[in-house]
Chains A and B, each alone.
Chain A
Amino acid sequence: MTNTTKDWTAQIYAIRDKQDQTAFAELFAHFAPRVKGFLMKSGADASLAEECTQEVMATLWRKAHMFDPARASAATWIYTIARNRKIDALRKQRRPEPEDLPWGPEAEPEQADAIGLKQETEQLAVAIKELPEKQRNLIEQAYFGDLSHSEIAEITGLPLGTIKSRIRLALERLRHAMK
């Protein structure tokens, strides 16, 4: 595995613009086994995890037009889809979701925002890999759903500040473009 996170924006745009199955196959080969691994670690058995993984990947196809590389990497976006499916399938409870912030007719994400976010996401990925094992396990457990939020609160030290301000900037541009 390399140190840098691959940027999948081109593949997602190819699905959005051309229903490109080859691009989808590349995304599928990378992400489907990871989504399935995530679901199994979260407590799904193999057949439920397989079924949910296919649904998550189908959702990715259908929602490709809502992917925003200035606010989330492909891995982040797919994580949110997989998490929502997990809550639905494993917890049997609804997942209230925030309102969407859709693109206006003219509003494409700023290239600079997307590039900046990509760099910071890579830094974050490296920081997660380089955490002491105990802390890293804690984060994984939190996201696999085994920890209460007071335990999660003890996790600190990840470089989230710059990502927060960059997403904030992208949201401001988006709000401005929608006026």
Chain B
Amino acid sequence: MNMTHTIKHHLTSEILMAYSAGNLPEAFGLIVATHVSMCDTCRADLESYDAVGGGVIDDAEIAEVSSDAFAATMKLISASDTAPASPRRSTGTLPSPLQDYVGGDLSAINWKPLGMGVKQAILPTSKAATARLLYIPAGAAVPDHGHNGTEMTLVLQGAFVDEDDRFARGDVEVANEDLEHTPIADVGEDCICLAVTDAPLKFNAFLPRLAQRFLRI
């Protein structure tokens, strides 16, 4: 996936550090792992936060292990599969961490229509935050909405534009309460995004509240 030079919109250092420390809800962990799979800039940032974790563990208070711990570990090693873990690398449109949740590439996504050609697929994560894939036909608008909490949107195919900027494959938009925007899918190609929220979106029009609850968005 040799495309990292085109990515202009990155994850914040706060989010990368929280991911490194293991403090993010699963859905946010998924969007971080997916973006980092496509972005060497953020991978380098992340690995430097991991280095802080290495410093902490090397300097941490030690706890004696049991006297047979080494023998028990050798037994674990010999009992397990002898084939070394093989590296994961995607050749499709969806990076590996996302394929793990979808169960395959684009064709495996179980889309549910939202109307006007817009579709979504909610991914199975812990309930603290919601991850979903969004499909927006080329040139169509995503419903006008503000945000209750933090929303992160990662473009996987096509592009979207809002009042301020253009987001293409690999770009991630981090939005909070202050941002009210109307993203529109670029005309060239249908847009597919991974969107993660820690609170329900506030739609200003388009979907009544009841439908929001029903659709879990």
Contacts and interface: CB of A to CB of B under 8 A. Distances in A.
A121 B51 contact: yes
Contact of B60 (A34, A102, A152, A163): A34
Contacts of B95: 98-99
A147 B64 CA distance: 26
A139 interface: yes
Nearest to B61: A37
A78 B58 CA distance: 10
A34 B61 CA distance: 7
Interface residues of A, number: 79
A164 B16 CA distance: 13
A140 B21 CA distance: 10
Contacts of A63: 84-85
Contact of A94 (B26, B57, B64, B69): B26
B76 A54 contact: yes
B205 interface: no
Contact of B62 (A5, A37, A78, A129): A37
Which residue, A57, A139, A143, has most C-beta atoms of chain B within 10 A? A143
Contacts of B90: 99
Contacts of A38: 56-57, 60
B190 to A, nearest CB: 24
A179 to B, nearest CB: 7
B104 interface: no
Contacts of A84: 22
Given A83-B53, A95-B22, A142-B17, A32 B2 contact: no
Contact of B34 (A96, A139, A158): A96
B73 A28 contact: yes
B97 A66 contact: no
B86 to A, nearest CB: 8
Interface size class of B (residues with CB under 8 A): 35 or more
B110 interface: no
A77 B77 contact: no
B89 interface: yes
A119 interface: no
Which residue, A25, A35, A149, has most C-beta atoms of chain B within 10 A? A149
B97 A99 contact: yes
Contacts of B70: 25, 28, 32
B63 A143 contact: no
B208 interface: no
B62 to A, nearest CB: 4
A145 B62 CA distance: 17
A10 B122 CA distance: 45
A155 B31 CA distance: 23
Interface stretch (B37-45, B140-148, B163-171): B37-45
A87 interface: yes
B56 A99 contact: no
Given A62-B80, A148-B23, A75 B55 contact: yes
B18 interface: yes
A76 to B, nearest CB: 3
Interface in A46-100: 46, 49-50, 53-55, 57-58, 61-66, 71-73, 75-80, 82-84, 86-87, 91, 93-100
28 contacts: A21-B74, A28-B70, A32-B65, A36-B62, A41-B60, A54-B72, A72-B50, A75-B54, A76-B47, A77-B54, A78-B54, A79-B54, A79-B57, A82-B57, A84-B22, A94-B125, A94-B126, A98-B36, A124-B51, A148-B18, A149-B14, A149-B17, A150-B14, A153-B13, A153-B17, A168-B41, A168-B44, A175-B2
